[in-house]
Amino acid sequence: MDKIVKYLKNLHLEFIKFLSLKVLGKKYLRTGKCKACGKCCHGIHVRHSKHLIKDEEEFEKLKEQHYFYNYLEIVDKNELGLIFACTKVHPETGKCTVYKQRARICKVYPQEELFMMGGEISEDCGFSFVPIQSFEEVFEKIIKNTKKPIQS
């Protein structure tokens, strides 16, 4: 029974990888789960449309359009744009105080786009990205391994 469960879990993961790569065009698969450390809620660059938010005027307009931006405060600025921190993180525990009602951007964090733009995930984060291999790459690897002579 354990072998069947393990097989089905593996098959499920492979199906998710296939959908991500072929249907969604993703190159990486997000794995792991949130450890609720709160580190991703500080030092945030926010992307809207196809660019990062660069000035306070743009940020004020976004706050009017989307309630989530009201959770953020500007803490710094660099060559990429404004840097934010979430005001809904408990200062002592690092946990989200509105977790059940958190914004979609928080629910889907981290996204491949962030990773592909050069964004980094904290070393303590429970999430990571692994490359998705295409069917051709996996098949080629299997063929290559089956052609190796068996050593005794």
Q: What are the start-end ranges of the E strands in 13-81?
A: 28-32, 42-44, 47-48, 51-52, 72-77
The pLDDT, as a whole number, for residue 16 is 61
3-state secondary structure of 119: coil
Answer for the pair 126, 34: CB distance below 8 angstroms, yes or no: yes
The pLDDT, as a whole number, for residue 39 is 82
Answer for the pair 94, 42: CB distance below 8 angstroms, yes or no: no
Q: Exposed/middle/buried for 5, CB within 10 Å: 0-12, 13-18, 19+?
A: exposed
Provide the pLDDT confidence category of residue 23 given band limits of 50, 70 and 90: very low
Provide the pLDDT confidence category of residue 74 given band limits of 50, 70 and 90: very high
Structure tokens that stand for 16 in this block: 């998710």
For range 35-57, the mean pLDDT: 84
Give how far the C-alpha of residue 43 lies from the chain's centroid of Cα atoms, to the nearest Å.
Answer: 15
pLDDT at position 60 over 90: yes
Percent of residues, the chain, with pLDDT higher than 70: 72
For range 65-85, the mean pLDDT: 90
CA distances from 74 to 23, 80, 87, 107 (A): 36, 14, 10, 21
